[in-house]
Structure 1
Amino acid sequence: MSAPVRLFDAAAPRRRAEAMEDLAQGFLRFRLAWALARGDIMHKFRGSLLGPLWMSVTTAVMLGALGFLYAHLLRMEVAAYLPWLAVSLILWNLLAQGITDACASLTAAEGIIRQMPLPHSTQALRVVLRSGLVAAHNLPLILGVFLVFGFNPGWMALLAAPGLLLAAVNLFWLSLLLGMLCARFRDVTQIVAAVLQLAFFVTPVIWQPSMVAWMQPWLPLNPLFCLIELVREPLMGQAPGWGVLAGAATFTLLIWALGQAVFTRFRARVAFWV
């Protein structure tokens, strides 16, 4: 039987219905997104001796170097500072790399988009799963640092799971939003890279919030701080503050609304932009 013919009425486009169908089909093809994400990781380290373990080795070396150096510069005990730095730096790398990949979520899949009728949301899910694979290699380093320095966050650490899930939700919608913006305006990629570089220094990653008491009330205005803190605080044995929870919820709703609106309005033009 031949495929059903879909009629398009320019006077009454079905943008919202088609966008929702794209999202539904993208999640139904979860296994395809997983295979693409896994292939990205394997292709990146093809032919290397350690393969994807290079991600863990690189992160471990950076933690060791920065941990002892900044503990001395900030006049802090290594046993107190290094566990905090391990959590902060690994979470920052996860978010920063995920946002960078989100910018290229559609342009990097140019060949697939132009040749195959796949849902665009599959490419966004691909970015999320690829970031998850990277996290699977780096997050165990946190446990290693905790064991070395005898740090035990207790059952509070379980509250980090919802924070990681919320980060994945934000990354998915950012992959659609930034992916479409960067496909249409290629300069957006450079703008995002510059903003992330600046954000690294103004976000408590190397330094701790308690070091700038006057700035603490304003930190929840930084969405990256909120997403990091939702995971970092439970892993450090504390519950996130209400300001962090409100900031993360507000940012998530904003990204969802913008991502949904842009994806619904311009989804049909992606093939022409990439």
Structure 2
Amino acid sequence: MPATSTAEQEQASPPRQPSSRSWAKAWSDIVEGFRQRQLWGHLGWQDIKQRYRRSVIGPLWITLSMAITAVGLGLLYSQLFQAQIGTFLPYLTVGFIVWNFINGCLTEGTETFIRNEGLIKHLPAPLTVYALRTVWRLTLMFAHNLLVYFVVLAIFWGPLSKVGYTITKDGVPQPGLSWAALLAIPAFVLLAVNGGWVAILFGIISTRYRDIPQVIMSITQLLFFMTPIVWSTDILAARFGEDSAGWRIWVAELNPLYHYIQLLRAPLIGNEQSWHHWVVVLAFTVVGWGLALVAMRNYRARVSYWV
């Protein structure tokens, strides 16, 4: 075949289209999503305003609901576990506040892209924007719930600031509130970063398999009772003794949500902060974002068809 005809065929052939499965495109989507903070920040704030539109007290319903739940269950379980209300109620309250944020990331994260079907099909924005919209909305709700924490802190400052206080009867002595409470700031930032990969990963899976949100909801309901939120690991030691309670305490230690909650709860109420909580959460952060990146690479282009 003449060289001229071969050259003409190469010129006539259409250029090869880049593959939609690309690490560069997946990474670019995540980076660009974080850059468009004005977009997901505005969308998240509009979610809160839309939810409580025409309400008299508006988003303060979030705070009121949390306060009623924390006080009611705190009074009940403090009596069941024979714990002092001055230390147990703040423990339970902060546990509920952190749990609500984590539970929101898990349950609402599964519907991140499903709820944004209209925007995904008509708005040329990175998929990460919609995940960050969910996390930002939950962050605003978390901020509202912190009002309950500050009220509880003002009421029970005396017991919480006392060195050596215990959460339950004959429990482990705690160091009490100090400047270590500032560790709650990086702890929450780390939780919010984890919420991002949870919303991306579970959101993509849920657009393909619509049963996943129901599965996650059922699992989180079980994990709520298995996680030390309304109960403490001190109760296991007091109930079964230090020796026989060993394997039962490991049930809590092997629960990753326990480390997430304790990472933020411990500094807020003056509990002893253990380094292994940071190690576990950081490990899940790295692995989680790695899985989210893989999901973005392989299925990012299909989300708009699945929703």
TM-score bracket relative to the smaller structure: over 0.9
For residues 223 and 239 of structure 1, what CA distance do their matches in structure 2 show? 18
For residues 217 and 80 of structure 1, what CA distance do their matches in structure 2 show? 24
Give 2:191's aligned amino acid. A
- Aligned twin of 1:209: 233
Give 1:118's aligned amino acid. A
Give 2:306's aligned amino acid. W
CA gap 1:8/1:111 in 2 versus in 1, 3 angstroms: farther
Where does the alignment leave 5 or more consecutive residues of structure 1 unmatched? 1-6
Give 2:84's aligned amino acid. E
CA gap 1:62/1:13 in 2 versus in 1, 3 angstroms: closer
Deviations 1:133-192 (A, max 9, x none): 001100121121011112331201101111101110110001100000000000010110
Deviations 1:221-248 (A, max 9, x none): 2111111111111112234223322221
- Bigger shift: residues 143-152 or 196-205: 143-152
What is the DSSP-based 3-state SS (H/G/I as helix, E as strand, rest coil) of the residue aligned with 2:145?
Answer: helix
Question: Does 2:123 correspond to 1:116?
Answer: yes
Question: Does 2:217 correspond to 1:184?
Answer: no
Give 1:265's aligned amino acid. N
Question: Does 2:90 correspond to 1:57?
Answer: no
2:63 and 2:148 in contact (8 A); partners too: yes
For residues 31 and 239 of structure 1, what CA distance do their matches in structure 2 show? 38
CA gap 1:200/1:94 in 2 versus in 1, 3 angstroms: same
Q: Which of 5, 17, 30 is equivalent to 1:9?
A: 17
For residues 274 and 258 of structure 2, what CA distance do their matches in structure 1 show? 12
2:208 and 2:306 in contact (8 A); partners too: yes
For residues 123 and 274 of structure 2, what CA distance do their matches in structure 1 show? 46
What is the DSSP-based 3-state SS (H/G/I as helix, E as strand, rest coil) of the residue aligned with 1:118?
Answer: coil
- Bigger shift: residues 215-224 or 152-161: 215-224
Instruction: Say what the alpha-carbon RMSD is for the aligned residues.
Output: 1.5
What is the DSSP-based 3-state SS (H/G/I as helix, E as strand, rest coil) of the residue aligned with 2:55?
Answer: coil
- Aligned twin of 2:108: 101
2:40 and 2:132 in contact (8 A); partners too: yes
TM-score, normalised to structure 1's length?
0.93
Task: For residue 128 of structure 1, report the CA deviation from its aligned partner.
Answer: 1.2
Give 1:235's aligned amino acid. L
- Aligned twin of 2:174: none
Give 1:92's aligned amino acid. W
1:229 and 1:244 in contact (8 A); partners too: yes
1:119-198 counterparts in 2 under 5 A? 119-150=126-157, 151-152=160-161, 153-198=177-222
TM-score, normalised to structure 2's length?
0.83
Question: Does 2:86 correspond to 1:79?
Answer: yes
CA gap 1:241/1:167 in 2 versus in 1, 3 angstroms: same
For residues 31 and 8 of structure 1, what CA distance do their matches in structure 2 show? 36
What is the DSSP-based 3-state SS (H/G/I as helix, E as strand, rest coil) of the residue aligned with 1:62?
Answer: helix
1:114 and 1:271 in contact (8 A); partners too: yes
Deviations 1:19-69 (A, max 9, x none): 122112212210010110000011011111110000001111111111111
Q: Which of 248, 252, 261 is equivalent to 1:228?
A: 261
1:156 and 1:239 in contact (8 A); partners too: no
What is the DSSP-based 3-state SS (H/G/I as helix, E as strand, rest coil) of the residue aligned with 1:67?
Answer: helix
Task: For residue 216 of structure 1, report the CA deviation from its aligned partner.
Answer: 2.5
- Aligned twin of 2:288: 255
